[in-house]
């Protein structure tokens, strides 16, 4: 293999740049020609493919976002789009791919590999930490630290006014961010898509904690089955029906996706990036390079996409215990 291209796809995550840097430099170290594809699979279809020398990735290890830009490609879901993408790779002589992203990215990579056989390895880049085959995903540690900083600030003002705050964090299908932030941020409760929490339980919890506490924080993952934090707050407020209680909502939103990656994320990104390139050199394909128990592990895209990584029940229990 002489020519490898790298792309970032789906929601960006802090540490993607550190991963791109590791992919490009590992490839160059091993004597390969490295290429960057702009805007994920859309750029592959449109031929936005450019050579990357070592200096192209200078001074990016500390930067959030992705220098290759990212997109969620609709065209790549179609046979016609993937054919165009293949033709572009052929035109540039690309023999291997590294796809940095989440399960959507890997689903696309798997279908493409099955159709055209271009060896592809993924790196787990998503703040959601919901990928099977790796203990952590690139960007998760930064995202939770960003969210925790915000939650700490909200707690200050919540305490000053004796208020009840519902704080919405990201996680359309996964509660990893909510659970880590709920524990670290001292929340009364977390609401996540993986477990059912009824509105009645929320009301009871708040009534109970008002006996000992003057302010409360509930962390809600955006994908919770009861709705958004704003919707849940309205329903709870209506049920409690007490004008002396002051309810507020804060949606943290995309600030969780930005910012300089933490040391942990830079380390994870660099290791996965190197493992992806070396995996391709050693004949691996159609899989993701992740880290489990501090060791590089290659997991098939099939498993990454179809198997779920369950939340740690002990952590959920711990939140309950520590919030009495």
First to last CA, the chain: 58
Q: Which residues contact 227 (CB under 8 A, 6 or more apart)?
A: 235
Does the protein bind ligand F6P through residue 194 (CB under 6 A)?
no
Residue 132 in contact with residue 103, Cβ under 8 Å?
A: no
Rounded CA gap, 324 and 308, in Å?
30
Rounded CA gap, 88 and 82, in Å?
10
**Region of 61-69, 122-130, 206-214, 315-323 interacting with ligand F6P (CB under 6 A):** 122-130
| Residues that constitute the known binding site for ATP | 11, 72-73, 102-105
Residue 64 in contact with residue 262, Cβ under 8 Å?
A: no
| Residues that constitute the known binding site | 11, 21-25, 72-73, 102-105, 126-128, 155, 163, 170-172, 186-188, 211, 213-215, 222, 248, 254-257
Considering the complex, state which of residue 13 and residue 236 has its C-beta at the smaller distance from ligand F6P. Answer: 13
Does the protein bind ligand F6P through residue 51 (CB under 6 A)?
no
Q: How far is the CB of 145 from ligand F6P (least distance, A)?
A: 15
Query: Which residues 160-179 are close enough to bind ligand F6P by CB under 6 A?
Result: 170-172
Q: How far is the CB of 184 from ligand F6P (least distance, A)?
A: 18
Q: How far is the CB of 101 from ligand F6P (least distance, A)?
A: 9
Q: How far is the CB of 172 from ligand F6P (least distance, A)?
A: 3
Catalytic residue (choose from 128, 130, 141, 265): 128
Q: Within a 10 A sphere around the Cβ of 28, how many other Cβ atoms?
A: 18
Size of the site for ligand F6P (CB under 6 A): 10
Does the protein bind ligand F6P through residue 138 (CB under 6 A)?
no
Q: What are phi and psi of 223, to 5 degrees?
A: -95, 15
Considering the complex, state which of residue 126 and residue 215 has its C-beta at the smaller distance from ligand F6P. Answer: 126
Cα–Cα separations (whole angstroms), residue 261 to 5, 134, 144, 168, 275: 23, 18, 11, 21, 19
- Looking up tokens 């940095």, which residue turns up? 100
Q: Is 128 tagged catalytic?
A: yes
Q: Which residues bind ligand F6P (CB under 6 A)?
A: 11, 102, 126-128, 170-172, 222, 257
């Amino acid at each position: 293999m002489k020519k490898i291209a790298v792309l970032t796809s789906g929601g960006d995550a802090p540490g993607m740049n550190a991963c791109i840097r590791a992919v490009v430099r590992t490839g160059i170290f091993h004597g390969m020609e490295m290429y960057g594809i702009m805007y994920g699979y859309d750029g592959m279809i449109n031929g936005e493919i450019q050579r990357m020398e070592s200096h192209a990735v200078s001074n990016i290890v500390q930067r959030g976002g992705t220098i290759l830009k990212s997109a969620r490609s609709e065209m790549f879901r179609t046979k016609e789009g993937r054919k165009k993408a293949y033709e572009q790779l052929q035109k540039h002589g690309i023999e291997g791919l590294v796809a940095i992203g989440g399960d959507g990215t890997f689903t696309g990579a798997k279908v493409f590999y099955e159709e055209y056989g271009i060896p592809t390895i993924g790196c787990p880049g998503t703040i959601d930490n919901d990928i099977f085959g790796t203990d952590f995903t690139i960007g998760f540690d930064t995202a939770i630290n960003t969210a925790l900083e915000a939650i700490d600030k909200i707690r200050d003002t919540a305490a000053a006014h004796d208020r009840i705050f519902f704080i919405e964090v990201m996680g359309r299908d996964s509660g990893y961010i909510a659970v880590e932030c709920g524990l670290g941020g001292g929340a009364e409760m977390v609401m996540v898509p993986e477990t059912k929490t009824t509105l009645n339980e929320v009301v009871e919890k708040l009534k109970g904690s008002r006996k000992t506490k003057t302010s409360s924080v509930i962390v809600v993952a955006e994908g919770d089955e009861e709705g958004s934090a704003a919707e849940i707050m309205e329903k709870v407020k209506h049920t409690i029906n007490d004008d002396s209680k002051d309810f507020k909502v804060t949606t943290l939103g995309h600030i969780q996706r930005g910012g300089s990656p933490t040391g942990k994320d830079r380390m994870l990104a660099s290791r996965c990036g190197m493992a992806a390139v070396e995996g391709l050199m050693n004949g691996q394909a159609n899989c993701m390079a992740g880290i489990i128990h501090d060791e590089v592990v290659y997991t098939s895209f099939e498993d990454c996409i179809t198997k779920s990584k369950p939340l740690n029940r002990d952590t959920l229990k711990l939140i309950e215990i520590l919030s009495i």
